[in-house]
Amino acid sequence: MFYIYLAILAVVLALTVWVLFDTKKFSLQVTAAMVIVPLLLRLLMIK
Amino acid sequence: MRVTMRKHTITAIICLAGALVASAVAGASFLAMRKPDVIVNGPGVSEKKMLSDWFPGLKGTPGDTEVYILKGADDGASMLILGGTHPNEPAGHLAAIVYIENVVPKTGTLYVIPRANASGFTANDPQEGAPQRFTIQTPNGPRVFSYGSRATNPVHQWPDPNVYIHASSGQTLSGSETRNLNRGYPGRPDGTLTEKVCYGIVQLIKQQNVTITVDLHEASPEYPVINAIVAHPKAMTLASDTVLGLEMQDIKISLEPSPVNLRGLTHRELGDFTDTLPLLMETANASQGRLRGRTDEALVLTGKDKWYVRAQKLGRLYVPYDEKGHPIEERVGRHVTAIGEILTSWNLEHPEEPLEFENIPGYEDILAKGVGAYLLPAPAK
């Protein structure tokens, strides 16, 4: 269960980074950047 | 076309760099909480062990925690003090440390676990705005202590189920309660990390034949069970005598029977599953309440909060509340003194099996001098 959770997390993080580079809308890029922070911290099991 | 792409790629790189910097700064801050508080061995400490010495299944896990043993010169009864069951209730944690750093048992044995949920001290609760740590000034300089989470760090136990089912009773609670140490007793050797810690504490009580167990807590001022002792039926006589002793010192405290249908708590399960006499004590902590304003170190230490004063005037609280708040000295003093009264009551009832500790700080002394006066100098780094 734990590793499935991490795999889902990694996919969501990758999609978020993809959106960050794909979109031309600056506000969406900022939003994606903010979403990356908690996803990354959890993927690294820091928070 | 090429210019537009280049522009949004550049802004994406800048945003990603910002996210990485923010992650690094936040990550360093969160990782710093994993460093345990300094606790100094007092004159009465004869041995320091780990909970995994009683339950090896905890060894090497974030749930393993220190057990301080203070053994008297003469044999007698024994007591276990649990601090830090909920790491966002600092008076319980500090009162346990005051016992470790000051008390000298004369007869009997004292076991102290100051960080019962060690994992809970490595994080604090999201969206609460609580400080990560607070500082107590002592005559020898500042001592810093963690202000943790009510529950086990989700990094150490995840994911939560939708519904938490208490193993031995089938009681159902919200999923996050699966990480609440005081809902997991008597624990399971093959359960979650939280249940393993509960199991380890139960093994300590059983193997050492602990006579009395005291679990130190704090509660929100709007919570009905506050400034109270909660006792298992078999500890009710001891608790009643303790309440009388405290009232004679002008310390107002109520006595609550452990509810039969509220399972997983120390005051219920330790009484049902072991021979110990379990008691749980609560003081008033505004920094964990729902009605509080700004949540900072000052609130943790002073308990001063204008919103709680207002709530008191509206009759919404279960504890007196004015502009003086409920400072940490009062809250730690209540716990320290109440344990002293438990000892007095036990010795009156059981002179054949005494439990005598010396150098317990007095309530008025803690109020006057502060908690810091009863903390030893931290060793130089």
- Round to the nearest angstrom and report the end-to-end CA distance of chain B: 59
Q: Which of B11, B19, B159 sits opposite A36 (nearest CB)?
A: B19
**Complex ipTM value:** 0.96
Are B295 and B131 contacting, i.e. CB atoms less than 8 angstroms apart? yes
Residue ranges of alpha helices (H) inside chain B are 2-32, 90-102, 193-207, 236-248, 271-273, 297-302, 306-313, 328-349, 363-369
Report pLDDT digits (tens) over B98-113.
999 999 999 999 999 9
Q: Which residues of B touch A20 (CB under 8 A)?
A: 12, 15-16
Q: Express each pLDDT in B181-234 by its tens digit.
A: 999 999 999 999 999 999 999 999 999 999 999 999 999 999 999 999 999 999
Which chain B residues contact residue A27 at CB under 8 A? Answer: none
For residue B254, what pLDDT band results from cuts at 50, 70 and 90?
Answer: very high
B interface with A, Cβ–Cβ < 8 A, is 4, 8-9, 11-12, 15-16, 18-20, 22-23, 26-27, 30-31, 123, 155, 158-159
| Domain shared by B128 and B15, yes or no | no
| CATH code: domain of residue B256 | 3.40.630
**Structural domain total, chain B:** 2
Same domain, B128 and B8: no
3-state helix/strand/coil string of B311-348 = HHHCCCCCCCCCCCCCCHHHHHHHHHHHHHHHHHHHHH
How much of chain B exceeds pLDDT 90, in percent? 96
Q: Note whether B18 contacts A33, CB cutoff 8 Å.
A: yes
For A9, the domain range is 2-43
Residues in chain B closer than 8 A to A17 (CB atoms): 16
At B254, the amino acid letter reads S
Is B379 among the domain residues? no
Cα B219 to Cα B333: distance, rounded to the nearest angstrom: 16
| Co-location of B247 and B357 in the same domain | yes
3-state SS class at B137: strand
Task: Answer yes or no: do B165 and B54 share one domain.
Answer: yes
Interface test with B, best of A26, A31, A35, A46 (most B CBs within 10 A): A46
* pTM of the full structure: 0.94
Report the number of distinct structural domains present in chain A.
1
Same structural domain, B65 and B152:
yes
Is 90 exceeded by the pLDDT of residue A2? no
Contact indicator for B178, B164 with CB cutoff of 8 Å: yes
